[in-house]
């Protein structure tokens, strides 16, 4: 009998995406499938998602505490990924996933994502004709109640894993909500769902999962400290050896500049960069910048939030543009209204030098990365940081802060390093997190770019790095096998290496 892994998440590319969570979840599903694992992905059927799936089977879920729903099994029409959708129109047929058109959280988010967890528990208990999972893998707070519900269902053959992609989002709600969630009595105390007189979905997941993982080694250490733990450092420390770091990979087929569909017919590669210059010109035109092959084109593509230091970027950009006449800046982003307005204003004040597009647009994200010289991507905290790895694949050197996954993946020996050391770098660190620091790192970038051999070496290091899921999935396979005990995972070729489960965060 073969066993199955059920992943439960709030989003998964290309069905629905608001950020890196969607990419990471789908990347893992595909990598597990390629490794021969039977895997199912459960996400809510938000508006428009059902149409992206070729439906095979449906099951009624008449007894969900949040009202009757349907479970729909099918395959993503574009990628073939096998998925389960929780179809509950009253909860999910809305314009946004988590927030409304004004950026406000939906008032019933507690009920919406409790329903997702109940649906996962139903699958774990068993539905006719649907294979029962041996591992249920919950992602972020949206699936935080899954481990608690599965434990309460007393299913000893089902083990749970919670992966933290971002500890800053915890799913915190008023205590009064608990009556609508259909939870067992065990949820009503501090070892359950209560934290500081509120409900906390992520804490519930941390306390009840058989293993808790997070997406980079440095972040796994950081979240045990008050500075990065967002109040949950105590709960994480309490889990001790159950907390492990399993770094993400990237989809290096999708983010391949030679073959990506949005770059055709002008793809490029590390050994043939010719078309990258074309994309630079394209971006300069598309963003209203002066067409100048010699300008240093720095781009940004991210959620406009304080996590991504957007406040500092907005403050520093006018001075950086004034002090560095060869600098151009193009931004694609969406988020906090005050930042959207500030960027629009800066672009209007710097015609030809700064171009801004407020919105979310996947094809433009690829083209921006393809055309840029550098990616501007500083973060106050960064659990993993997919975007700088994407930029490196596209020969665009990232400027980041040395936190979380960025500290693990970006190599910069520092501003005092000589040329020989810089030949081994693949990006730059923003060393001082203030306006002077921004101006200084851009000065450094301009200087490095003028040393052709160093720049070429850095770009080669970036493009040739191995960031794909096939390198990273083994740690997940080992963890799942350890948890499930007996050969849950099929490995027909028998070639997959069996490494140890990665060291716990505490000892990493
Ligand atoms: P986070 O998950 O914290 O937002 P990541 O860098 O891990 O950060 O992932 C962000 C993902 O969202 C990347 O795939 C990036 O290309 C994408 N993205 C962010 N903002 C936009 C946007 N405005 N348009 C298109 N894609 C975007
Ligand atoms: C989160 C994090 C980001 C990470 C992504 C995928 O949204 O903010 O750092 O890359 O999840 O794990």
pLDDT digits (tens, 9 = 90+) for 361-397: 999 999 999 999 999 999 999 999 999 999 999 999 9
Q: Which residues of 247-276 are buried (b: 16+ CB within 10 A; e: fewer)?
A: bbbbbbebbebeebeebeeebbeeeeeebb
Task: Kindly state if the Cβ of 335 falls inside 6 Å of ligand 1.
Answer: no
pLDDT at res. 2:
55
User: DSSP states of 401-442 as a string?
Assistant: -S-HHHHHH-----TT--HHHHTT--SEE--S-SHHHHHHHH
Mutate to test the pocket of ligand 1, among 17, 260, 303, 343 (most ligand atoms within 8 A of CB): 303
Residue 339 and residue 314 in contact, taking contact as beta carbons nearer than 8 Å: yes
Mutate to test the pocket of ligand 1, among 11, 20, 249, 394 (most ligand atoms within 8 A of CB): 20
Coil vs helix vs strand at 447? helix
pLDDT at res. 190:
83
pLDDT at res. 492:
45
The stretches in the chain having pLDDT less than 50 are 1, 488, 490-508
Q: Tell me the per-residue pLDDT of 430-463, one tens digit each, with 9 for 90 and over.
A: 999 999 999 999 999 999 999 999 999 999 999 9
Task: Kindly state if the Cβ of 386 falls inside 6 Å of ligand 1.
Answer: yes
Task: Kindly state if the Cβ of 365 falls inside 6 Å of ligand 1.
Answer: yes
pLDDT at res. 489:
52
Contacts 24+ apart (CB under 8 A), 260-269: 260/366, 260/370, 262/362, 262/363, 262/366, 262/367, 263/366, 263/367, 263/370, 268/370, 268/395, 269/463
The domains found in the chain, sorted by start residue, are: 4-249+469-507 (3.40.50.2000), 261-463 (3.40.50.2000)
- Ligand nearest to the Cα of 388, by number: 1
pLDDT at res. 189:
86
pLDDT at res. 31:
96
């Amino acid at each position: 009998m073969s066993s199955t892994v059920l992943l439960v998440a709030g989003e998964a590319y290309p069905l629905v995406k608001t950020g890196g969570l969607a990419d990471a979840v789908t990347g893992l599903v595909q990598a597990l499938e390629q490794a021969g694992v039977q895997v199912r992905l459960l996400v809510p059927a938000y508006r428009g998602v059902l149409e992206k799936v070729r439906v095979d089977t449906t099951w009624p879920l008449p007894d969900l505490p949040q009202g009757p729903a349907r479970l729909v099994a099918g395959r993503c029409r574009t990628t073939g990924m096998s998925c389960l959708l929780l179809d509950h129109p009253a909860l999910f047929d809305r314009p946004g996933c988590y927030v409304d058109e004004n950026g406000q959280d939906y008032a019933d988010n507690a009920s919406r994502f409790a329903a997702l967890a109940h649906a996962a528990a139903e699958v774990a208990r068993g539905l006719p004709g649907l294979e029962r999972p041996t591992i249920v893998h919950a992602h972020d707070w949206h699936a935080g109640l899954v481990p608690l519900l599965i434990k309460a269902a007393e299913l000893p053959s089902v083990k749970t894993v919670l992966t933290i992609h971002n500890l800053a989002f915890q799913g915190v709600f008023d205590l009064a909500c608990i009556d609508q969630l259909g939870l067992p009595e065990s949820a009503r105390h501090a070892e359950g769902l209560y934290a500081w007189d509120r409900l906390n979905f992520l804490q519930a997941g941390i306390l009840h999962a058989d293993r808790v993982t997070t997406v980079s080694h440095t972040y796994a250490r950081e979240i045990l400290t008050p500075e990065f733990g967002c109040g949950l450092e105590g709960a994480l420390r309490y889990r001790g050896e159950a907390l492990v770091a399993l770094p993400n990979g990237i989809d290096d087929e999708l983010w391949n500049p030679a073959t990506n569909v949005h770059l055709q017919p002008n793809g490029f590669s590390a050994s043939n960069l010719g078309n990258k210059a074309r994309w630079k010109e394209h971006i300069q035109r598309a963003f209203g910048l002066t067409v100048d092959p010699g300008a240093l084109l720095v781009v940004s593509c991210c959620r406009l939030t304080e996590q991504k230091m957007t406040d500092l970027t907005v403050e520093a950009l006018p001075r950086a543009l004034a002090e560095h006449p060869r600098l151009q800046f193009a931004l694609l982003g969406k988020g906090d209204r005050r930042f959207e307005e500030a960027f629009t204003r800066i672009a209007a004040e710097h015609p030809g030098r700064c171009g801004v597009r407020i919105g979310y647009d996947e094809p433009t994200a690829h083209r921006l990365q393809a055309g840029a010289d550098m990616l501007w991507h500083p973060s106050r905290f960064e659990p993993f940081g997919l975007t700088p790895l994407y930029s490196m694949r596209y020969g665009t050197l990232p400027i980041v802060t040395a936190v979380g996954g960025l500290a693990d993946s970006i190599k910069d020996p520092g501003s005092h390093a000589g040329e020989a050391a810089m030949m081994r770098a693949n990006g730059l660190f923003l060393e001082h997190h203030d306006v002077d620091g921004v101006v200084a790192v851009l000065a450094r970038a301009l200087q490095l770019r003028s040393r052709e051999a160093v720049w070429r070496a850095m770009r080669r290091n970036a493009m040739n790095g191995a960031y794909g899921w096939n390198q990273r999935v083994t740690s997940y396979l080992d963890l799942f096998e350890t948890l499930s005990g007996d050969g849950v995972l099929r490995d027909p070729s028998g070639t997959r290496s069996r490494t140890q489960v990665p060291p716990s965060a505490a000892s990493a």
